[in-house]
Amino acid sequence: MPGYLLLRRLDRRQLDQDAIKGLIPADEAVGEARRALPFGRGNIDVDAQRTHLQSGARTLAARRLRKDAEAAGHEPMPENEDMNWHVLVAMSGQVFGAGNCGEHARIASFAYGALAQEKGRTGDENIHLAAQSGEDHVWAETDDSSAGSSPIVMDP
């Protein structure tokens, strides 16, 4: 977050204290996602080098686990069927400590929900996963549509 704030300042787009407070739970959620997946991103060269290729192997193992859990009919949240797949993606990444953007984004979005409540964020805030059409990349975004604020992007 310090780098983001510095760039905003250099670009003469400073944020007020309330806007900065709004970024804190998102920054903490990104940190939680990175800590939950200590071997990093399976498709990023720097993480592959740092982990002696374990990031990629662990990401493949996590995805195999998710597919096996799906095939076995595992439902971690039977009361919320729409969330089951997202929970499986996050859980499988955590088991192996690595994942690509989808695993990171889902863990960050789940972490953000709890952190935002702790920090007193409004209940009108929405969080969702976003992707660019034609691109293989996923991130989490949140916004408080009632406040008319810009989305907060979490892209671990």
* Residue range 124-137, pLDDT digits in tens: 788 899 998 888 89
For range 1-17, the mean pLDDT = 80
Q: Which residue has the higher pLDDT, 146 or 103?
A: 103
Q: Looking up tokens 């990349």, which residue turns up? A: 137
Q: List the 125-131 sheet strands across, edge first.
A: 125-131, 138-144, 152-154
- Give pLDDT, residue 144: 64
How far apart are alpha carbons 146 and 125 in whole angstroms?
A: 8
- pLDDT band (50, 70, 90) for residue 94: very high
List C-alpha distances in Å: 125 to 1, 37, 52, 148.
21, 26, 40, 11
Pairing of strands 40-41, 125-131: unpaired
- Give pLDDT, residue 43: 94
- pLDDT band (50, 70, 90) for residue 78: confident
Tokens of 133: 């059409």
74 phi, psi to nearest 5 deg:
-65, 130
Q: Among 22-36, 62-76, 94-108, 123-137, whose mean pLDDT is lowest?
A: 123-137
Determine whether 12 is exposed, middle or buried from the number of CB atoms within 10 Å of its CB (0-12, 13-18, 19+): exposed
pTM: 0.86
pLDDT tens readout for residues 35-55? 999 999 999 999 999 999 999
